[in-house]
Amino acid sequence: MSLSPFVPTPKLDDYRERFKDHFKLERRADGVLLAQAHTLGGSIQLSVENHRALGQLFKTIGADPENELLILTGSGEHFMAALDPDGFALERENLQHWAYEYAYKDGRINVSALVNDLEIPTIGLLNGPGFHTEIVLMCDISLAAQGATIFDLHYDIGSVPADGIHNCFQELLGVKRAAYALLTGQAITAEQALEWGMVNEVVPRDELIARSYAIADHIMTQPRTVRRLTTQIVRRPWKQRIVNDLDGGFGIQMFGHVAKKKAVHGEGHIRSTVDYVREGRENNFD
């Protein structure tokens, strides 16, 4: 016996409870874990709290050796289309403090944890229209619901788009389409996203989880080591991308944000900014 014992790893029963306000967690006997992000059981309403919880969850899942594959999705009709009405009070109260503690630090951890803390394959499900779609698009495999749209609202709310969405769009769309999407707020339909290689499949929204289980079943046919080593191979471009461009890009975003001396995450502000998406238009100027 070794002179010192193992430090225990997290147990699902514990962390399912700890994260229950933000995620519904279900794990099959074979280790396939489904994480459904939600706010009060419905679609995500972004707040500093659930923003931080995301990276915390990824790190916890990654530390539990009993997880074998992660399926990640939102809840309800939208992936993320609204803010928690008081979710950014901290930004309004102290922009400078918020900027490092809740935006720069937590935001980089979210992206880094998805890519660096999970040894296991990941399948992201875009269940509906949303921003911050990098979270499901940077999974190894991504499926979108029919009717989902991908768009980035940063520029239109006066923020430099560089908190990971730029990594995601530049990796998946290339420099030309990414620049246009980021500068114009282009709403990209699921079908267009499929054609452009942003997602792997488009399925009806109510079949999304079943389809992801079918793919998971296939992946689970191979042994643990093969699954996990293959994951390192297929995910490597994401690891390289975020090392090269996340810390600095996000610094540029925060510089611009703090220099404006005003909060941008007003709930109404966001809502009106993305009206065009709800109306099925490609941007807010055509």
Q: Which of residues 2-61 bind its own copies (CB under 8 A)?
A: 2-9, 18-19, 21-22, 39-40, 45, 47-50, 52-53, 56-57, 59
The reply to whether 78 sits near its own copies by the rule CB under 8 A is no
How many Å apart are CA 140 and CA 230, to the nearest integer? Answer: 11
The reply to whether 233 sits near its own copies by the rule CB under 8 A is yes
What secondary structure letter does DSSP report for 10?
P
How many Å apart are CA 183 and CA 253, to the nearest integer? Answer: 14
The reply to whether 265 sits near its own copies by the rule CB under 8 A is no
∠ CA 58-181-160, rounded to 5°: 65
How many Å apart are CA 145 and CA 37, to the nearest integer? Answer: 16
| x/- track of binding to its own copies for residues 191-220 (CB under 8 A) | -----xxxxx-------------xx-xxx-
How many Å apart are CA 42 and CA 269, to the nearest integer? Answer: 21
* In the complex, minimum distance from the CB of residue 140 to its own copies, in angstroms, rounded to a whole number: 5
Selected range binding its own copies among 25-33, 72-80, 128-136, 278-286, rule: CB under 8 A: 278-286
The alpha carbon torsion through 94, 95, 96, 99 (nearest 10 deg) reads 120
Selected range binding its own copies among 24-32, 73-81, 128-136, 182-190, rule: CB under 8 A: 182-190
The binder of its own copies chosen from 76, 147, 251, 266 (CB under 8 A): 251
Dihedral sign computed on CA atoms, order 203, 132, 232, 67: negative
∠ CA 111-115-120, rounded to 5°: 140
CA 148 to chain centre: 15
* In the complex, minimum distance from the CB of residue 127 to its own copies, in angstroms, rounded to a whole number: 18
| x/- track of binding to its own copies for residues 132-171 (CB under 8 A) | -----x--xxx------------xx-xxxxx---x---xx
Selected range binding its own copies among 73-81, 114-122, 125-133, 202-210, rule: CB under 8 A: 114-122
